[in-house]
């Protein structure tokens, strides 16, 4: 269970009357999504299935993959469902498949293409008065905006869906407003408005109790624990954390158990009540298990946070030797992973331990270092806050300009209506406006098409069809920020064609260009849509693999290198041409600059060259 992370799984707000067997599969996704995938894959092998049934099965298959957070598989299944649905006469099925594609896109590194699919469904639902589909479309658009941290827009779409769902509930529709409440709570929590989030978390928790949705209930209870902890109502926070923990243990959610243990321990540690100390002592073995869980999942920041909580407890209980051991672990993690945010806190705690042990000189020196780190962090925080305030001001200014423009347009329309006396003039004005409108629309789409063409030319290497150097580096910067924010691995490789100068010098640049085209085609066939690959030099390429560890990436790169050796007919006539790469592959570290990451990959690439070429060094 990721902190404050919720998924829409089989909400079925669309109101489609599913056949009994498919309705059962949709319900089973909340409990055993893997079994649902196996069942559907076996049923899709039945040759007698109608196109309509195939579309329904692929829709459910996408839902099951989404529940397992397998984004690529969920998107592929959703697009297949949409393609099949369009061959039927079921317009509602087409639109819910559009929404399913949008939801699958929400798991991608760039979820924004999903908005177009959801907007299509929203327009259809409004035109045909299908409030259930309208609700689903609003939720999908809101979720994508929440993922991209457009919090104002996300809250607006979730609120529209929530109000519409409440209206439908009054008309006898199945309750989905409490489910939407959990998303509104998420937005408020992200805006640090815990008191506003609590009523919505409570509403969703009641709903998940009634529907026996244990996974989502655990999430809502965890959210309530955090919210009450932030407003210092510790008894309530502890109760909610304990209940969330019990559910996590029951369903075998180790990550959820670890998150809740850390949060519960932190809340109890901030309390000075005597019974809290007893509870903390009882919780210590579970806190150690949480540390191991975060270590095994390579979640360094949560590992540091949990170790810091443990060190504070040990210091409070005068277990100085054990506390120093934890501090050593924290210092090792700080060095290995370049951790900055909690460095001042760690140094301050170390200074306190040194003072407790009587080493006042070392304590003073360590405290001075902690203060320097705190000053540095505050300067960076002040800059970030300034940027946030400026962005908020610009947004408010834009909203004011839009309101002013709307008022101006309304006033002009009213004045025009008053002054329209001659019907002939009115008809002429309307005709002119219609012509002008279509001319503007034509110009808009022409300019938009030209802009898209120019944008593509500006971003793409003409010879290979891959990203050019500038666009590749821009996308790398974006993926680095996403990887840090989402605590996901990011693998980066630099590849250089071996002996490319020999090919150019021996056979001419036309043959060399053909080799580069061959490499570009192989890259476009062999890698994921989410992978970012560009040509950054004459024969040099940069590979960026979001959410992928170096070990699995190295296997894919070696397979790609092997496939590049199979030359097309245009190159097969040259027997001594051999397409091979020397590659350097690294994992981008959280606090490391992109320049440093590229330098490490470049060094490894040169090691590959020096070691005989045609290999990946990582």
Q: How far, in Å, CA of 186 to CA of 220, rounded?
A: 10
Residue 319: predicted pLDDT: 86
Sign of the torsion formed by the C-alpha atoms of 286, 292, 296 and 298:
positive
DSSP 77-127: HHHHHHHHHTTSS-HHHHHHHHHHHHHHHTTSSS-THHHHHHHHHHHHHHH
Residue 13: predicted pLDDT: 44
Contact predicate 68/80, CB 8 Å: no
Residue 362: predicted pLDDT: 87
CATH class of 1-109: mainly alpha
Residues of the chain short of pLDDT 50, as ranges, are 1-13
- Whole-angstrom Cα Rg for the chain: 29
CATH class of 469-617: alpha beta
Give the residue carrying structure tokens 């954390």: 241
Residue 8: predicted pLDDT: 41
Residue 341: predicted pLDDT: 63
Q: How far, in Å, CA of 152 to CA of 391, rounded?
A: 12
The residues pairing with 492 across neighbouring beta strands, listed in sequence order, are 544, 586
Q: How far, in Å, CA of 73 to CA of 342, rounded?
A: 37
User: Within its chain, how far is the Cα of 100 from the centroid?
Assistant: 17
Q: How is the chain split into domains, by residue range? A: 1-109, 420-459, 469-617
Residue 1: predicted pLDDT: 39
Give the Å distances, CA to CA, from 37 to 21, 23, 47, 102, 191.
Answer: 14, 14, 18, 20, 37
Read off the tokens for 602. 């470049």
Q: What is the 3-state secondary structure (H, E, C) of 335-403?
A: HHHCCCCCHHHHHHHHHHHHHHCCCHHHHHHHHHHHHHHHHHHHHHHHHHHHHHHHHHHHHHHHHHHHH
pLDDT per residue as tens digits for the range 409-452:
777 777 777 777 767 787 787 888 888 888 787 787 777 777 76
Q: How far, in Å, CA of 140 to CA of 178, rounded?
A: 16
Residue 418: partners with Cβ closer than 8 Å, 6 or more residues away: none
Residue 284: partners with Cβ closer than 8 Å, 6 or more residues away: 310, 313
For residue 494, what is the enclosing H or E element?
Answer: strand 490-497
Residue 224: predicted pLDDT: 92
pTM: 0.48
């Amino acid at each position: 269970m990721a902190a404050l992370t919720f998924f829409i799984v089989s909400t079925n707000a669309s109101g489609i009357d599913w056949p009994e067997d498919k309705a059962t599969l949709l319900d089973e996704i909340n409990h055993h999504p893997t079994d649902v995938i196996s069942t559907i894959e076996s049923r899709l092998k039945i040759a007698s299935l109608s196109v309509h049934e195939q579309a329904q099965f692929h829709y459910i298959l996408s839902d099951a993959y989404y529940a397992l957070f397998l984004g690529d598989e969920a998107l592929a299944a959703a697009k297949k469902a949409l393609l099949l649905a369009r061959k039927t006469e079921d317009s509602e099925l087409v639109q819910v498949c559009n929404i399913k594609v949008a939801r699958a896109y929400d798991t991608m590194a760039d979820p924004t293409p999903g908005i177009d699919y959801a907007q299509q469904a929203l327009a259809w639902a409004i035109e045909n008065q299908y409030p259930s589909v309208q609700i689903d479309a609003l939720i999908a658009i809101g979720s994508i905006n929440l993922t991209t941290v457009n919090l104002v827009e996300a809250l607006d779409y979730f609120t529209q869906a929530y109000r519409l769902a409440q209206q439908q509930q009054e008309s006898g529709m199945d309750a989905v407003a409490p489910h939407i409440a959990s998303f509104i709570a998420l937005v408020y929590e992200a805006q640090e408005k815990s008191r506003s989030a609590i009523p919505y978390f409570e509403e969703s928790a009641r709903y998940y109790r009634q529907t026996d949705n244990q996974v989502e209930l655990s999430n809502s209870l965890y959210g309530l624990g955090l919210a009450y902890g932030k407003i210092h109502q510790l008894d309530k926070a502890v109760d909610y954390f304990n209940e969330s923990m019990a559910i996590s243990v029951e369903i075998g959610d180790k990550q959820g158990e670890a998150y809740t243990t850390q949060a519960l321990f932190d809340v109890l540690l901030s309390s000075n009540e005597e019974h809290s100390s007893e509870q903390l002592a009882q919780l210590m073995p579970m806190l150690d298990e949480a540390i191991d869980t975060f270590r095994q999942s390579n979640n360094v920041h949560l590992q540091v946070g949990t170790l810091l909580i443990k060190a504070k407890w040990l210091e409070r209980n005068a277990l100085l030797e054990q506390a120093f051991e934890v501090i050593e672990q924290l210092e090792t993690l700080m060095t290995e992973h370049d951790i900055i945010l909690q460095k001042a806190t760690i140094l301050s705690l170390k200074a306190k331990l040194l003072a407790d042990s009587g080493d006042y000189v070392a304590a003073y020196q360590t405290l001075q270092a902690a203060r320097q780190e705190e000053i540095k962090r505050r300067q960076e925080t002040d800059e970030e806050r300034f940027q946030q305030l400026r962005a908020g001001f610009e947004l408010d200014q834009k909203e004011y300009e839009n309101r002013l423009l709307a008022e101006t347009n309304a006033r002009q329309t009213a004045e025009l209506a008053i002054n329209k006396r001659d019907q002939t003039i009115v008809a002429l004005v309307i005709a002119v406006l219609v012509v002008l409108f279509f001319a503007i629309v034509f110009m808009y789409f022409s300019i938009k098409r030209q802009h898209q063409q120019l944008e593509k030319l500006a971003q793409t290497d003409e010879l290979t069809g891959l990203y050019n150097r500038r666009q590749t580096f821009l996308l790398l910067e974006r993926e680095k920020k996403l990887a840090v924010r989402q605590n996901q691995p990011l693998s980066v490789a630099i590849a250089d064609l071996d002996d490319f100068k020999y090919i150019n010098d021996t056979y001419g640049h036309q043959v060399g260009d053909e080799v580069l085209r061959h490499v570009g085609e192989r890259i476009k066939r062999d890698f994921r849509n989410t992978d970012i690959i560009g040509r950054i030099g004459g024969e040099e390429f940069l590979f960026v693999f979001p959410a992928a560890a170096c070990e699995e990436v190295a296997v894919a790169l070696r397979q790609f290198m092997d496939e590049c050796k199979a030359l097309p007919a245009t190159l097969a006539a040259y027997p001594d041409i051999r397409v091979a790469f020397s590659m350097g592959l690294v994992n981008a570290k959280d606090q490391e600059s992109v320049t440093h990451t590229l330098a490490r990959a470049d060094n490894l690439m040169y090691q590959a060259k020096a070691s005989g070429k045609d290999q990946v060094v990582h």
